Structure 1
């Protein structure tokens, strides 16, 4: 079965491909099939993921899965949330993973409450008008480090410490990260839903 991944993020694609491959599902990055991206005007992960999945299904005629994920920092009242990918731009930096981490470390200097949650919401649709989208949410509680640790992964992985493991996501091998990450959790739920309802 072919499913379009409504994302051009190669890191997300690699993580999700590894998890879906045992099902015989081939995930195809939307950029390989069409240009353009869905609007993401909403304030919640689920609404944006649904918008992206419907857009990709409409453009390709294939079932689509979209992920909207982000970081919710306690000290910032749950923000940056859906704006996580653009976090650094509000501080004058150009959008990049490296600049996002830099801006976060700067804004968290001297802050004692370092709790943050990473949230991944996956939405799957069989068609653009699918009345029963699959929705899977994964959430992981983490602590923000005061400096970068590790070189694996992407995004905020170098500063997201999982207390029970004593490691940041960037210090973990991919298998360990999949077992403990927000995307790993939402993916496992989505895989079960796809097996039950689509295959």
Structure 2
């Protein structure tokens, strides 16, 4: 069973309580006339994310919002996986920032653990941002879209754009970090194009398969 394609004017829940993530998705959705409202704005509780993969956590969040709001819900589970750290922090990317979230501390932790591994050369500091989108229907149907962006981790962090670990992540083929890029450059997505960021690449697949093209 498939989920019907979305059309201009449709409304869906973004399964997040993160204002930064809502803003980023609203920018991506703007050209399509789709209305996004966050689970936080609807007062929906945050489900416990106890999955061991991005897909499991994305499904947990999307289905919780779809059932809670009785409407289509889109979730994003994303994170950074560092090769020298055996893929960590991965699904625990946000957890490394503590409560309340402090990504300055999280980036410092990544740097400290890389130094403990002797990973100082760029070739030893490879990493990838991963994003898994899940569109869920209240009746239990869902579909997944996955995007990935590879790069290296620099130190010290540079830039104040974006959020999370963006200031220390330099995508392959660029000499600036996500934190130094405008939203337009970071996403660099357009119809028929792959895009740059992990989220943009997952979104490109979502658009191709899930949004009605006029």
On whether the aligned pair clears a TM of 0.5, the verdict is: yes
The answer on 1:194 being equivalent to 2:194 is no
CA shift for structure 1 position 35: 3.4
SS at match of 1:49: helix
What is the number of residues matched between the two proteins?
A: 193
Check the 8 A contact 1:16/1:187 in 2, yes or no: no
The answer on 1:19 being equivalent to 2:28 is yes
The answer on 1:98 being equivalent to 2:104 is yes
CA shift for structure 1 position 12: 1.2
TM-score of the pair, normalised by structure 2: 0.85
Aligned-CA RMSD value = 1.8
The counterpart of 1:3, out of the listed 12, 15, 21, is 12
CA shift for structure 1 position 87: 1.6
TM-score of the pair, normalised by structure 1: 0.91
**Residue segments in structure 1 that go unaligned for 5+ positions in a row:** none
CA shift for structure 1 position 4: 0.3
> Aligned in 2, Cα 1:127/1:61: closer, same or farther, shift over 3 Å?
same
CA shift for structure 1 position 152: 0.5
Q: Which has the higher helix share?
A: 1
Counterpart Cα distance in 2 of 1:144 and 1:62:
39
Check the 8 A contact 1:134/1:193 in 2, yes or no: no
Counterpart Cα distance in 2 of 1:116 and 1:8:
26
CA shift for structure 1 position 88: 4.4
**Residue segments in structure 2 that go unaligned for 5+ positions in a row:** 1-9, 189-195
Structure 1 partner of 2:92: 83
The answer on 1:160 being equivalent to 2:176 is no
Counterpart Cα distance in 1 of 2:143 and 2:33:
19
Check the 8 A contact 2:44/2:65 in 1, yes or no: no
Counterpart Cα distance in 1 of 2:38 and 2:100:
24
